[in-house]
Structure 1
Amino acid sequence: MNTQAAIYLDNNATTPVAPEVFEAMVPYLTEFYGNPSGLYRVAKEAGAAVTKARESVAKLIGAEAREIVFTSCGTESDNAAIWSALRTTGKKHIVTTQVEHAAVHSFCEHLETLGYTVTWLPVREDGTLDPAEVDAAIHDGTAIVSTMWANNETGVLFPVEEIGKICKARGVLYHIDAIQVPGKVPIDVKQVQCDFLALSGHKLHAPKGVGVLYIRSGTRFSPLLIGGSQEKGRRSGTENVPHIVALGRAAELALENLIDEQTQTRALRDKLENGILSRIPNSHRNGHATERLPNTASVRFDGLEAEGLLLKLNEHQICASAGSACSTGSLEPSHVLSAMGLTPSQARSTIRLSLSHLTTEAEIETVLDLLPRFVAELREPRPAASPAAKA
């Protein structure tokens, strides 16, 4: 049995729960287990903890506590925002991009089967988005513009502040999938001027199963889930108190670690990426060099399949991925990389390495020591089978 500690470089897929986060949530699994709507002590303690977590999440993104709605995940938050815009406006047109996460991309494809229309905006070869494309796509029948802030596969950042100004000027709702951003890039919803913004706990060292939908004060909202009056009627269902508490603590840590992510993590990412590009022939970065998250590197290696490389990395307890965890197992090349103009073979030769403030320099050195050998081995031509073997 291999007891070597894993080198975890897949933080865009999910993050380990921080010890401080786990410690914060335990009392709400054991002692203060009451329904937060109750009037007795174990319930009141739970309710007070939800309130505190709401304030912590609001502070993380520059919002008011009353604008924070807790959900089950980022997908629910994304779906709820888009669905609400369609219902409250009565309009049937959505503007989004070709490189969205499946939470938006697949949902918009589903909406097309229901009679809604979607404008799928292209991106440039470096993965960036021209805000003028957004402006040109909006018309009188547009209900909402929905874009990600940072791409989950390449880390490329979109000009959300400019898009927000365009949407406000055109009188169109704006939703941002910001799930990859907290703790890596400062968030201020007042500066960005979005109407909706989605977050997910497990991307910032909280557990899976909890998310957030920011709804700007005064924005009309039609809930996706209808039942009780939880979350001021905007999201029915008994609150997941332990996970909400965990998310609140994780939001506090994300603010505390923001500078480290932007400096130390970025420096380690650059060391890893530059080391790969300089030591491995015919390797290439996917995406803009600077307009991206400080933790993400998307790299392709000509002449090999990423799957084989990932298997070799896994044998040495190095965790990485070929792209979005939500498309693992798909035979199709990444829709993100395809939209950037990569061929199917180029897309399939790509791996994503995503760091966190927990990543160490020693881990990066280990990867740089091993990766060139793995790539060289996979590129070696296999000897032809002998005539006897063919027979």
Structure 2
Amino acid sequence: MPLSSNKIEKIVHEVVSRSLSAEAKPFAESGRAAVLVAPEKLKLQEFPLRGIRSDEILVKVEACGICGTDIHCYKSDPFALAPVVLGHEGTGIVLEVGRDVKMDGVGKPVLPGDRIVTSIFETSENCLIAKYNPHKANLCDDLRVYGLLPDEPEYHFNGYFGEYLIIRPGSSFFVVNDMSTDLRVLIEPAAVVCHALERAKTCGVNLNFRSRVVVQGCGPIGLLMIAVLRTHGINNIIAIDGNNSRLSMAASLGADVQLNFKDFNGIDDLASKVYSLTKGIGAHFGFQATGFPEAFAGLFKCIRRGGGIVEVGHFVDGGNCTMNPHQDITRKEITVTGSWVYNSFEYPYAYHFLRRAEGIGLPVTDLITHRFPLDQIQTAFDVNLQQQGIKVVVEMD
């Protein structure tokens, strides 16, 4: 009797799993990783590659994007992680699968040769937020992400800016074989904007085909925010930034109006322009993705009464800002919400968003403007710091 493809896949998975011992031998004796040893100091180091355990996965890293968080860590190590192997916007090829590991986060079998991405770790049993609100596990104090884990004797390969990654027990990961490497590198930041969109839905503002939305800040997150809004059916998007090349990218990703704030005489002048584009009453909604407190305060002036704002740009403490509670919030009844990272269940949302964005012709992979090998990672960070491109990617092989 002929076997179905699903049956064959299960048989192969079982054979491969049984062939792996509790301490499988690694494919190489050692591997390199770029270690942040101190602020603004990256050092390529060679680490021994131990055999994986029965509940682990060994991954050969293919590529990883440089995130704004990586830049903050590089500049000042705000989370006191050093020494640390950074890199969380990564993807790679599965080399070995521990015999106790059967499937990914959505029930797909995982086998050597699969292409995967990782999401957040499971939180500790002591986290009351995860216990009583599992859909808000992203707010746990012990939230952990590969690329933001300090070096440990048993786990040197903790981030994607290395040749290998060891996926530990309790990790969420996803098999994404049908995606290009470039799309896979964008899944993590895409999860950030998918989460921000879900947060926007809690504001009581009905985002629909006629909504007028401002996206402030056209870095990688702001640009992906524009793409996810367009994919979601938002037709009237105003992009605000101070870089014309990024505003041009915003146009290609779905922003029908692009405003360079440097062309205006302050926030009141800019807000007047937004009002002129929105029937004189302001935008229904705004997404703030700059990471600058002053920009956050200014966005209120662009939003109509009864509107809403999602703050998605402040992953680290950027300082305070001055605003008028009466004029900016109370009188307008504006609803403001924050957006913090994502949940692992939102990775499938990000996957389908990127596939749909490509399907409707949005050039999301054009966000990747620079590529560097691992031994040029210092140059890659310098290019990112100088904002010479949009998404800078480090490629292993």
- Alignment TM class, shorter chain as reference: 0.3 to 0.5
Structure richer in strand, relative to its length = 2
TM-score normalised per structure 1: 0.34
Structure richer in helix, relative to its length = 1
